[in-house]
Amino acid sequence: MAAAVTTKGYGLKRALYRGGRPGRLMRWWNRVDAWWFARGPARLPQAAVLEVRGRSTGRLRAVPLAVADVDGREHLVSMLGPGAGWVRDVAAAGGHAVLRRGGRRRAVVLEPVPADARVPVLRRYLAVAPGARPHLGVGPDAPDAALRRLAERLPVYRVVPGAGR
């Protein structure tokens, strides 16, 4: 029974991101999450909001993300791959962004993590971001080989202090 519920939930989650992009309902829900994560009454320890200027509009975009803390450092993962809007916006901004987490707002630079160093980050990410599992097809207990395959296609960034834009 639990497996059926999980499978149905995963199907719904994938449907909200048809073609690897959030649909209208999910874009609205992401705005709610961004507000909730940044200013809401219940802040989750792994929840953050990444603020980055849109590459074509220049408008500030706020994206709710889960932070994977590994070895005392923060990391961000794009569950939708390199085509995700925030990934392209970060690239256009030279890695500069603002991260809001735990009631703090700070300028950061996102540095790409080499593919061969991504497995521990992906494992932690899958543990703290269960909503990503339907998109990636694995959980935090996946074998290293499966995570290495994911590491080749998923952007992973190390968050470092910096001058945001």
pLDDT computed for residue 130 by the predictor: 87
10-residue mean pLDDT profile of the chain (165 residues): values are 42 56 66 63 76 91 93 96 95 96 91 98 95 89 96 97 69
pLDDT computed for residue 135 by the predictor: 81
Q: Check: CB of residue 81 under 8 Å from CB of residue 20.
A: yes
pLDDT computed for residue 138 by the predictor: 93
Q: Check: CB of residue 80 under 8 Å from CB of residue 93.
A: no
pLDDT computed for residue 71 by the predictor: 96
pLDDT computed for residue 45 by the predictor: 79
Query: At residue 123, what are phi and psi to the nearest 5 degrees?
Result: -60, -45
Crossing angle of the two packed helices 144-153 and 119-128, in degrees rounded to 10: 100
- pTM for the model stands at 0.78
pLDDT computed for residue 134 by the predictor: 84
- Alpha-carbon gap, residue 142 to 82, rounded angstroms: 22
Classify the C-alpha dihedral 121-122-127-132 as positive or negative.
positive
Burial 35-54 (b: 16+ CB within 10 A, else e): ebbbeeeebeebbbbbbbbe
- Alpha-carbon gap, residue 9 to 27, rounded angstroms: 18
The number of CA neighbours under 13 Å toward the Cβ of 160 is 10
Residue matched to tokens 């992906």:
122
Instruction: Give the E-state strand segments of the chain in sequence order.
Output: 47-53, 60-70, 73-77, 96-101, 104-112, 156-161
pLDDT computed for residue 5 by the predictor: 34
CATH number of this structure's domain 2-161: 2.30.110.10
